[in-house]
Amino acid sequence: MAAGVGKSLKERVFHAMCLVATYGCVVILLALVASIFWEASGWLDWQFLTSRPSHDPEKAGVLVPLIGSLWIIGITTLVAVPMGIGAAVYLEEYLSDSLWKSIVQINISNLAGVPSIVYGLLGLVLFVRLMHFGRSILAASLTLALVILPIIIIATQEALRAVPPSIRHASFALGATRWQTVRHQVLPAAMPGIMTGVILSMARALGEAAPLIIVGGVGTMSYTPTSVYHKFMALPTAIYNWSSRPQAEFANVAAAGIVVLLVFLVILNAAAVTIRYRFGKRTQW
Amino acid sequence: MSELEKPMPEISVADAVRDRVHQTANISTSGIKVKATKLSVYYSDKQAVNEVTIDIPERCVTALIGPSGCGKSTFLRCLNRMNDMIDGARIEGEILLDGEDIYSSKTDVVQLRKRVGMVFQKSVPFPKTIFENVVYGPRVAGVRNRNRLMEIAESCLTRAALWDEVHDRLDDSALQLSGGQQQRLCIARALATNPDVLLMDEPASALDPASTARIEDLIFELKERYTIVIVTHNMQQAARVSDKTAFFFQGELIEAGPTTDVFTKPKQKRTEDYITGRFG
């Protein structure tokens, strides 16, 4: 009897703890988002989206960092996606199991865990200084490409591994070459998984502040960039800049900037979920 | 539970041999299409096939039988060099296709696989349309003309006895077909590269009895044009469809000969024990 009560008590306590943990997370997240929206309310308007930076919080806008972030995310994707997919295809489809492959694989996994500020320092030395790209969009994009490259490689490898070997064998048995098999069977079948990985890594690149602060600094500029060699402001660095200003109103400007960034991240994540859901249903083995 | 669970009708192997209505192909008069000499296959350190020497007669059905793990599927996969795909696989000995060594350095593996088609145990249609599945071989070989591809699709689907069932839905996904239809689609797909030899690795083991019967009828029709090598676990099936039977055990070829001989008067005790169901 006593044991029975004890068990049910433990059971209930454990249940309650799990419940608290789950809803605790949700409540904290909601509180955070609510406070940001509360601070941003009244500041996030058309004027904010279309204005350049200003010392007057009432006139400050997000246009320059917004355009900067779009440039950076575009170039980063352009560089990192072909390289990442290419590396993953090579590792999965061409390289046979060996010590060398294990070494490369372990290194890629470790690179995915390297703090992004380390990539920032590498980018500063390699792209800004050695390659003389300066504190430009190009240098920032290449640095962020390094940050997300391991993520894309690992996600693509997972997607390629999910394609059953029988599909490859059937293709080879019909006289297809390795390239034809990859091009016509493996990549199309893995594409939803690859796209999901790519979009999530884009979201990661969009939200990165540390490497951009190191490569590009947090200064403001008044023109929108029109070339990869131009200086840049990005959304995360602009938010950092605004939140470190002494005037209290800039906290509201920062909040409005955070909302803009969040909207982009939600759109990207929603796209990833949609692709996974729609194509995941269609292909059954 | 499903169709798959139903047992095959109880017919003894001897009955199946006696009931054969197609004792047309005489393997002693057929030419030799494939000749394997002292073929051994190793997976890393393990030997899977041990010095197998066998002739595969042209335009006949040769059945490879034996218990699981006896090396018959491994042997089959040597004939179109699918074992090349497996890390650590090593091959010794010689296989001649029309007198040419397929493991010679001059052999183009891609060309070889077009001449030696293969149908797998589990049907693996590509997640594409029925049409695209059939014409995949010709497409990767560079055929672009839509009319030509359509002709190939029609003739191959007809030969695989599938045309009547799918001719009005060639653009539907191949994954919507039933298991038996998918397997016939895979046969049609293999025929589209215009092979001489067709390798079948337990092509009916995952199918219900009705679909199995269709595949067997099809094999009987196909041997008019193609040399067929089939791996099967089903004694009745080997007896029904094949002209020549080869019994493998523990990587070695124990006995090979005309199917009627192997099944009615086996020379080796182990062959007799296996086909009468004493082990395996």
The CATH number of the domain where B210 resides is what?
A: 3.40.50.300
Q: pLDDT band at residue B102, thresholds of 50, 70 and 90?
A: very high
Chain A residues in contact with B152 by the CB 8 A cut-off are: none
Q: Per-residue pLDDT tens for B110-127?
A: 999 999 999 998 888 999
Q: Per-residue pLDDT tens for A91-132?
A: 999 998 889 999 999 999 999 999 999 999 999 999 999 999
Q: Is A184 on the interface with B (CB under 8 A)?
A: yes
Q: Do B113 and A172 touch (CB under 8 A)?
A: yes
Residue B162 falls inside a structural domain: no
Looking at the complex, report in whole angstroms how far the Cα of residue B194 sits from the nearest Cα belonging to chain A: 10
Contacts of B123 (CB under 8 A, 6+ apart): B179, B182, B183, B185, B186, B206
Q: In the prediction, which pLDDT does B211 show?
A: 85
Q: Is B86 on the interface with A (CB under 8 A)?
A: no
Average pLDDT over residues B42-62: 91
Residue B93 falls inside a structural domain: yes
What sign does the dihedral B13-B16-B17-B19 (CA atoms) show? positive
The total domain count for chain B is 1
Residue B149 falls inside a structural domain: no
Residue B135 falls inside a structural domain: no
Contacts of B208 (CB under 8 A, 6+ apart): B2, B3, B4, B6, B179, B180
- Mean pLDDT is lowest, of A32-36, B29-33, B109-113, B216-220, for B29-33
Q: Is A176 on the interface with B (CB under 8 A)?
A: yes
Residue B111 falls inside a structural domain: yes
Q: In the prediction, which pLDDT does B2 show?
A: 47
Q: Do B118 and A173 touch (CB under 8 A)?
A: yes
Q: Do B113 and A174 touch (CB under 8 A)?
A: yes
The domain in which residue B248 lies consists of 3-128+195-275
Q: How many CB pairs under 8 A join A and B?
A: 65
Q: pLDDT band at residue A41, thresholds of 50, 70 and 90?
A: confident
Chain B residues in contact with A285 by the CB 8 A cut-off are: 127
**For residue B195, how many C-alpha atoms fall within 13 Å in the half-sphere facing its CB?**
36
Looking at the complex, report in whole angstroms how far the Cα of residue A174 sits from the nearest Cα belonging to chain B: 5
Residue B226 falls inside a structural domain: yes
Residue B69 falls inside a structural domain: yes
Q: Is B43 on the interface with A (CB under 8 A)?
A: no
Question: What is the rounded CA–CA span in Å between residue A21 and residue B103?
Answer: 63
Residue B142 falls inside a structural domain: no
Question: What is the rounded CA–CA span in Å between residue A155 and residue A88?
Answer: 9
CB B56 within 8 A of CB B35: yes
Q: pLDDT band at residue B12, thresholds of 50, 70 and 90?
A: low
CB B117 within 8 A of CB B199: yes
Q: In the prediction, which pLDDT does B3 show?
A: 46
The length of chain B, given as a count of residues: 280
Q: Do A180 and B175 touch (CB under 8 A)?
A: no
